[in-house]
Structure 1
């Protein structure tokens, strides 16, 4: 009988949901499905948008909801790259999620990549080159990922503020913060930035830190000046009531997920300590739920075979300039132990 596969190539969640999430689903009132979720009399999107407004101390009209962060990103790219000005240029990181280019291609967008560079055992955005590209290309959208997938590097609120100050108001800045909750509990910068810059959208999700990719629930925040996009994005009759109740339960049980993030941090350190010292290997710093490892390319076939024999799937990167790297989702401690031991065994041969 075939072993169950361990998927450490998708940046999914290998732990259990919080007890609050389990209770929310178990005790869900089925009669709620008989009604739309939009709060008509108050002109609000839903109970989730109201909850997020209070949680982040941001006006409810500035809250965005979507079926996963991907939905918000796709809506924003499709909307802004099809405006009457005809500007279809979007800047994206060189090493990033393939989805960014894909959704721009769907509306005949023109994507240009701005560079990242290695600094020791981390990647960083090349801000000077990026600023030059913004001036030269006059993009309709500047897409930032913080933390970035697959490199694992993020931007501090100070770095974001300084960069946003350099971007002209006609360029929409779209920040994918799918993994940002792994970085810090302080989200006060979001309100400051969306109220300071009229061209800003920040997208988040319940899929990564809160471990609910199957829920398909994302949220975001935008400046008030982008209200036309909000009207385009909003679902007139509301959203999925079950998903909203579970999302609120997850957001209320932050301590559960902080404890899991702590376990991930400990295992990340084990990767750095045990794999980073192997000849030809390099473990990059990451502030997300995955790590990026550079390995000797001659070991690729042996590593792939060894992981397959263990019924483990990890992500071998194929893109130019990063095709000697693999990205590994941080699983449970016992899963991470198997991955580390597998790499060490192949490296020792």
Structure 2
């Protein structure tokens, strides 16, 4: 434990449904004193060589306008994803695309909760969200057959699925997903968020290859997560539906992808093997973190198919109190999930930051559980 507490700007937690930036919470001088387990991103990519090359070209990149139609960058990304580039639309982060899809293409949508808050907050109106409450007695697991029946019973025209789930980490198999898609071809839209799918398995269980078979499917992904570049604000969506493509493209502002982000996209093809090596390393780290978390008494650890893990505190402490104590006393920042609709006040979410850093979290949670369970 630290000899002096870290001073926290607690007011920032009241201003957003997301995790406040660490630099705002503790200040720039204390950044190197805190490990951020809220940070759901690949810590091993981009490679050092990629970053050095970017730095060497930074002046010329910043002084250049990005493409108003970044065709080459889109084709490069489509190539590494193995999909038709005509299906692909680049966004200034996945949230830009989520906002456009929900504002322009959706009047009502089924949303399993708990979920990523943007899917509720960016709808045209509050009554557009038709909430499907996941059962805590069943570990908040989404049963796709029950979900499909509920959607039809309530005559809802669109449906959201996040796979792996956020914040649950639940991974649904490809065969389950295909059965759902075939059963729900009558829906106007199925919005599938696969932002964490690259951490599900060594062979990525994506449905990007199925787009041509499902005209009502839009797949959304955040590159912040699997490529480890949240500061570049890169995301993409893909669909074979030409009407969806047209509506989304028309709503996008020109130059929505900045020149640094565009340069990064152009490096993906030549570094594709390094990327896959990095994500497999993350998968190994998460498995190791999960094994150690389940050994700590006082916590319920949910299975995960992602690079983060949902944990329930079972010794009476609220998540916000555990979060603050970890920050102030140990310099560890975890996600308090209390503000996620559908979860109680006793859940935190942690993302692996590499085996060396993860041991600090394990030691701190063991200490806290022992102290408060005594």
Q: Residues 141-180 of structure 1 correspond to what in structure 2 (within 5 A)? A: 141-180=158-197
Contact 2:199 2:282 in 1 (8 A): no
The aligned counterpart of 2:37 is 8
- Determine which of 221, 225, 228 is the counterpart of 2:238: 221
Structure 1, unpaired ranges of 5+? 40-44, 82-87
Structure 2, unpaired ranges of 5+? 7-29
Contact 1:93 1:143 in 2 (8 A): yes
Structure 1 residue 63, shift from structure 2 partner: 0.7
CA RMSD in angstroms comes to 2.9
Alpha-carbon distance between aligned partners in 2 of 1:117 and 1:187, rounded to the nearest angstrom: 28
Q: Deviation digits for residues 48-106 of structure 1, max 9, x if unmatched?
A: 1111233334332211110011111111111113xxxxxx21111211111110001x4
- Determine which of 284, 294, 308 is the counterpart of 1:276: 294
The answer to whether residue 364 in structure 2 is matched with residue 325 in structure 1 is: no
- Determine which of 101, 109, 119 is the counterpart of 1:100: 119
Contact 1:65 1:234 in 2 (8 A): no
Alpha-carbon distance between aligned partners in 1 of 2:286 and 2:261, rounded to the nearest angstrom: 31
Contact 2:289 2:352 in 1 (8 A): no
**Secondary structure of the residue that 1:165 maps to in structure 2?**
helix
The TM-score normalised by the length of structure 2 is 0.79
Structure 1 residue 171, shift from structure 2 partner: 2.1
- Residues paired across the two proteins, number: 336
The aligned counterpart of 1:85 is none
Contact 1:115 1:130 in 2 (8 A): no
Q: Residues 170-249 of structure 1 correspond to what in structure 2 (within 5 A)? A: 170-184=187-201, 186=203, 190-225=207-242, 226-236=244-254, 239-249=257-267
The aligned counterpart of 2:93 is 68
**Secondary structure of the residue that 2:350 maps to in structure 1?**
strand
The answer to whether residue 305 in structure 2 is matched with residue 287 in structure 1 is: yes
Closer, same or farther: CA 215–279 of 1 in aligned 2, 3 Å: same
Alpha-carbon distance between aligned partners in 2 of 1:218 and 1:321, rounded to the nearest angstrom: 27
The aligned counterpart of 1:84 is none
Alpha-carbon distance between aligned partners in 2 of 1:332 and 1:188, rounded to the nearest angstrom: 23
**Secondary structure of the residue that 1:75 maps to in structure 2?**
helix
Alpha-carbon distance between aligned partners in 1 of 2:217 and 2:181, rounded to the nearest angstrom: 9
Q: Deviation digits for residues 221-244 of structure 1, max 9, x if unmatched?
A: 101343332432455557323211
Closer, same or farther: CA 36–307 of 1 in aligned 2, 3 Å: closer
Q: Deviation digits for residues 286-319 of structure 1, max 9, x if unmatched?
A: 1222111122242344664244211111112214
Alpha-carbon distance between aligned partners in 2 of 1:58 and 1:208, rounded to the nearest angstrom: 20
The TM-score normalised by the length of structure 1 is 0.84
Contact 1:90 1:109 in 2 (8 A): no
Contact 1:139 1:171 in 2 (8 A): no
Structure 1 residue 265, shift from structure 2 partner: 3.5
